[in-house]
């Protein structure tokens, strides 16, 4: 184990020294290895053998520790890792597989919504009692944001129907469901979307559409929860 550990540490430290110009990641792993037991190192090796990866650090504001594309590409070439590949996509509707004509970088990437970076002009509702008569939804200073039908479709496509129902129904104009939702939070500290919807009466906008159609002599039951 001693020889294996020495070889493993040498390999990791050599690669980590090349990640950034300052070599800060090598220093971090030197400290980790200094405190690690043989068992810890063996667990780390097994962790990598299962297809996982070691983290690297790039603290903001330190120029020498910034990640540079050239450094990362050099490491990939050193270990013969091909990161540029033609992408194969599969169409679930037609069962047809296709390959992109050009190569692209393939890998995992963390994304963050731009609004999380905003320091100014961040919307927040001042209250929740200014309600639109036609839709039953909050308006003016009670309204902080909104969600579109394509976004709801995305949530449902991700198999998140409960989240979609919370935003689109409980908080989207069903006043009785929202009342039950808030009452549960105030009295018990917890609530559920499905439980609130069972006490709901349907979104106000459907009732509005129902009467608009009736005004055009078109009978309908669009406002009914059983519809």
Cα 171 from Cα 174, distance rounded (Å):
7
pLDDT for 11 equals 92
For the stretch 178-196, pLDDT in tens is 888 888 888 888 888 888 8
From the list 21, 25, 9, the residue with the least C-alpha distance to 74 is 21
> 2 and 41 in contact (C-beta within 8 Å)?
no
In the predicted model, is pLDDT for residue 214 greater than 90? no
What pLDDT, in 10s, does the model give residues 125-147?
666 767 776 777 767 766 666 77
Q: How far apart are the C-alpha atoms of 57 and 67, rounded to whole Å?
A: 9
pTM for this one?
A: 0.44
pLDDT band at 118 (very low <50, low <70, confident <90, very high): low
């Amino acid at each position: 184990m001693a020889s294996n550990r020495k070889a493993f540490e040498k390999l990791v430290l050599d690669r980590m020294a090349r990640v950034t110009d300052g070599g800060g990641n090598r220093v971090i792993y030197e400290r980790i290895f200094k405190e690690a037991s043989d068992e810890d190192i063996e667990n780390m090796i097994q962790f990598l053998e299962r297809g996982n990866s070691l983290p690297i650090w790039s603290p903001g504001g330190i120029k020498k520790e910034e990640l540079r594309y050239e450094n990362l590409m050099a490491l990939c070439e050193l270990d013969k890792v091909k990161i540029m590949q033609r992408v194969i996509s599969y169409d679930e509707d037609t069962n047809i597989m296709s390959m992109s004509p050009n190569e692209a970088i393939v890998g995992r990437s963390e994304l963050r919504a731009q609004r999380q970076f905003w320091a100014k002009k961040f919307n927040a509702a001042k209250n929740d009692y200014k309600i639109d008569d036609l839709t039953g939804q909050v308006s003016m200073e009670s309204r902080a944001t909104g969600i579109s039908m394509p976004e709801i479709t995305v949530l449902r496509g991700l198999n998140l129907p409960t989240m979609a129902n919370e935003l689109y129904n409980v908080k989207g104009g069903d006043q009785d469901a929202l009342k039950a939702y808030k009452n549960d939070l105030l009295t018990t500290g917890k609530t559920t979307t499905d439980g609130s919807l069972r006490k709901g009466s349907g979104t106000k906008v459907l009732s509005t559409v129902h009467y608009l159609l009736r005004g055009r002599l078109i009978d309908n039951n669009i406002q009914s929860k059983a519809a």
